[in-house]
Amino acid sequence: MERTQISVRVALWCLGVLVLATGVHAQQTNTARVTRATAATTAAPAVVPSDYTIGPEDVIGVVFWKEADISGDVTVRPDGVITLPLIGDMKAAGMKPDALRDAIQTAAGKYLTEPIVSVVVRQLNSRKVFILGGVMTSGAHALTGPRTVLQLIAQAGGLTEYAKGEEITIMRTENGKPRYFKFNYKEVSKGKKLEQNILLQPGDTVVVPE
């Protein structure tokens, strides 16, 4: 009789441990899901210019209120399309964030009751300017706000020893046609002919000959 009672107690203890372990595992799983959802919806948004429209390679955060499982960040593909849970493919490039939000909200209405959607820009990768040639670090630079030629040169680490600062050219495409601007670093740096120090636009290329 005593052995039977001991066996029952051991069995009950084992069952309690199993239930406790299962509960802890479930809680950890739920916590991990919440953590992932929170990370996807609380990342700091990028600072976007007032004339900004979404472009390829931009990272967009799409947040559905009370729908963490379908919220998250998406990258705009080269064809300008994003893919969202439930909804599928949607055109995003060329749209302002508010317009994309409205479009997503309308599309999500087919699957959710009165969905509330927020769209935030996480990374501005489509707005770039380029600087090549006689600078310390040539390459692409994100254009997250107003930037002049002189500021871009400074961001690129300045001119190299053998750079021809008087012969800098800014190349731009407008309406499918190339346009060129001249920039004399020595003049501008001395406060002369400041009209050369133009504001750069997405896609501009600054060439510093050596």
3-class secondary structure for 161-203? Answer: CCCCHHHEEEEEEECCEEEEEEECHHHHHCCCCHHHCCECCCC
Residue 207 to residue 130: CA distance in whole angstroms: 8
pTM of the model: 0.63
Q: How far apart are CA 127 and CA 117, in angstroms?
A: 25
CATH architecture, range 128-208: Roll (3.10)
pLDDT, the chain, mean: 84
- Asked if the domains at 59-123 and 128-208 fall in one CATH topology, the answer is no
Topology adopted by domain 59-123: wza like fold (3.30.1950)
Range 185-206 average pLDDT: 96
Residue 30 has pLDDT above 50, yes or no: no
Domain ranges of the chain: 59-123, 128-208
Task: Give the pLDDT of residue 56.
Answer: 93
